[in-house]
Structure 1
Amino acid sequence: MNWQSIDITMHERVATVTLDRPDVRNAFNQATIAELALAFDELGRDEDVRAIVLAANGSAFCAGADLHWMKTMAGYSDAENLADATRLADMLRTIYLCPKPVVAKVQGDCYAGGMGLVAACDITVVADGANFCLSEVRLGLIPATISPYVIKAMGENAARRYFLTAERFSAREAHRIGFVHDVVAPDALDAGVAAIVKALVANGPNAVREAKMLVREMAGRPLDAALLADSAARIAAIRASTEGREGVASFLEKRQPSWMD
């Protein structure tokens, strides 16, 4: 496909989706939203893909919404605004529910909707020196569409502060509040992401998919009989699966599992 605002490359079972509008600090518009939704849907279905990296070209990871797009939205009707917001919500949900593990590689500033993109990913590595900001209230808006993912990532207490103040905060602060997993020197970003991706592709692809779903579906549930039964059923099913049997056999036989061939 001839992508207009993103680029996709494949290397050793890893797909890299790169935001490619550096002239506008990778701010997204309708085209970017549509292309990201399509890309993650297709890559999520591709059996050759074991992991996906979400990256960006230029000095910024993502500055949020494109100003020209925002000017256009100013003239939207209520119905048009709702349809537009729903497309963004659907794109974020597609990334969040993607069956493949998604690693955000953040090389520069990440603002507003860009934070939603990062929060929808599974693992985030950021270069030291990058800054974050939930700037919506400065414009009289709220970070509503991205809020389910951002609140999950940074927690309710931190969200109260940064949703309301629109303060800019550092990569180190993002790590402290749990919004990102690793902060590395800018020249170590490639290596940091590569190490995580290497770990991901070494694991059973079905197990990784099921483990991702496990976290999503277990988080926040009460520790009751239904949860215990669900967890027992999941491990019993995966033990009996072809991949589960192969993984245990390869370990006992001290050989490489078949998915590493």
Structure 2
Amino acid sequence: MTIIHFVDMEKSAEEDNVEVLIKEPFLHFVSLKETTGAFMSETILQELETMSLSVENLRGQGYDNGSNMKGKDNGVHRKMMEINPRAFFVPCSTHSLNLSVNDAARCCLEASSFFDLVQHVCVFFSSSTCHWEILTHHVNYLTVKPLSQTRWESRIDALKPLRYELGNIYDALTEISDTTFTGSSGNTACSDAEALANGLSKFKFVTSLILWYKILFEINLTSKQLQEKNLNIHAAIQKLKQTKNILEEFRSDEGFERTLVYSLELAEGTDFPTEFE
């Protein structure tokens, strides 16, 4: 995908004032036969030449955080700067935020176990029309959604049904576990439903659900703001600082106590245990 970002200085017809406009038009998609830094760099140079745009006028580059794009030795940005040292590279701030959350969650066993259970719930209901029908009988407005492996902030969509329909989803699993199905697959479905229901009812899961919903809600807001057309660097830095402060607050004893208050409310409302095992 080819997008160029440039400054357009337009002179008013009635006045002598010059209006400075920042524009970022989408040009077209470019087919790639290879995804190496060298090949993509050559493709970019060819595209600029085709559009009669001099690489000497290039002042900035912005890509995602893939090694073939940002690699300090063989990435696209490095090869372009070898041609034009003034073409400074700025990584995608939204992608950087996404990778930070991704790495932070993967290094925590409790977080990995929590999201594995969320994913198993989605797979269980979506893999069978019978299971899905029972789910929709209990849940009217929200349906379980799969986890995104690349856009962590979008996992808020997967947690929202559990956050606000946890009791109903639990009831759906309980109904399936109590239903008599034919064949070995039916027994497996009952066993899986019972195991998932037991997992959802644990206070540790409820607390993790409250905590991660609050975290991803904030991350999602920040991610969307970082993608706004009119956002400037100063506003982006301030928003990231605000998000950092909120995450640090979650890590404090006071922040965790507030999380427990919401966890107790949710657990009591669904008749789940209200103590950690």
Range class of TM-score, shorter chain: under 0.3
Larger strand fraction of residues: 1
TM-score if structure 1 supplies the norm length? 0.24
Q: Which has the higher contact order (CA 8 A, sep 6+)?
A: 1
- If you compute each CA radius of gyration, which structure gives the higher value, 1 or 2? 2
